[in-house]
């Protein structure tokens, strides 16, 4: 399912933080959203999820205008950081709750969780009454990411999913994203500063700078090399 962005603008205190005349994120691709601090990555993801009111513009998921209907929500999942996880629940309670929202039985959720056993590394499930807030940041991150995968969405948005994860878990997450993208199939939109983890799995990387699309790299253009060049400290000094 594609995501279409048309004539979008958002300002805070008269400062425009997002201005995207046109952007289409193709169905079934993995798109990376990259940019320096404050570039507008989270704002873009929140706008796609209709969590902020735009000053102008339209965003569609499939044929659904996200601001005008709710149907797209059944096909869309997101992880927007560890603060967005219901941390007073145990992991199991949270997974079954999220599953119930999309009509999954406990058996279906349990089967899906078994698929992520390796990612959980025996740290998440079966911890009795331990609430999510008492887990480490990396493990809360894992809980939030897997919860977003439970509905097997047609569109998946992840904000900084590699944060807090150990190197093995980062590699497993790469495999998980490629798996959902190819096998379900799912349009994956990932914002991250971690270009070494992100670039190898991306079909495309949209680079934001001060709310504008500065570059739009395709996989054939050696995304990691281009991004490494863009983010090199030397370049920032030269351009100042």
Ligand X SMILES: Nc1ncnc2c1ncn2[C@@H]1O[C@H](COP(=O)(O)OP(=O)(O)OP(=O)(O)O)[C@@H](O)[C@H]1O
- Contacts to ligand X by CB under 6 A: 12, 17, 35, 37-43
Cβ at position 101, least distance to ligand X in Å: 26
15 vs 107, which CB is nearer to ligand X? Answer: 15
Cβ at position 165, least distance to ligand X in Å: 17
7 vs 38, which CB is nearer to ligand X? Answer: 38
109 vs 190, which CB is nearer to ligand X? Answer: 190
119-134 burial, b if ≥16 CB within 10 A, otherwise e?
Answer: bbeeebbebeeeebee
What are the DSSP E strand ranges found in the chain?
3-12, 15-25, 30-35, 56-61, 64-65, 76-79, 155-159, 187-191, 204-209, 212-218
Cβ at position 206, least distance to ligand X in Å: 12
Centre a 10 Å sphere on the Cβ of residue 200 and count the other Cβ atoms it contains: 12
40 vs 91, which CB is nearer to ligand X? Answer: 40
Cβ at position 209, least distance to ligand X in Å: 10
Kindly state the greatest CA–CA separation across the chain. Answer: 57
Q: Strand order in 64-65's β-sheet?
A: 15-25, 3-12, 56-61, 64-65
């Amino acid at each position: 399912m594609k995501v279409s962005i048309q004539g979008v603008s958002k300002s805070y205190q008269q400062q425009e933080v997002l201005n995207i005349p046109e952007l289409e994120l193709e169905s079934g691709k993995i798109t990376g959203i990259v940019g320096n601090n404050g570039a507008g990555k989270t704002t873009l993801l929140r706008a796609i999820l209709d969590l902020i009111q735009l000053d102008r513009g339209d965003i569609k998921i499939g044929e659904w205008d996200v601001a005008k209907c709710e149907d797209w929500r059944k096909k869309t999942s997101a992880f927007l950081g560890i603060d967005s996880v219901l941390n007073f629940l145990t992991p199991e309670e949270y997974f079954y709750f999220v599953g119930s929202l999309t009509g999954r039985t406990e058996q279906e959720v349990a089967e899906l969780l078994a698929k992520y056993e390796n990612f959980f590394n025996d740290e998440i499930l079966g911890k009795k009454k331990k609430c999510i807030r008492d887990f480490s940041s990396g493990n809360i991150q894992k809980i939030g990411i897997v919860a977003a995968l439970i509905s097997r969405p047609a569109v998946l948005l992840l904000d900084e999913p590699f944060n807090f994860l150990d190197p093995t878990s980062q590699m497993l997450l790469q495999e998980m994203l490629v798996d959902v993208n190819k096998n379900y199939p799912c349009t994956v939109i990932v914002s991250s500063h971690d270009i070494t983890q992100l670039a190898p799995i991306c079909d495309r990387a949209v680079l934001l700078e001060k709310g504008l699309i500065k570059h739009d790299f395709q996989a054939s253009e050696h995304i990691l090399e281009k991004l490494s060049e863009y983010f090199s400290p030397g370049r920032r000094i030269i351009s100042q």
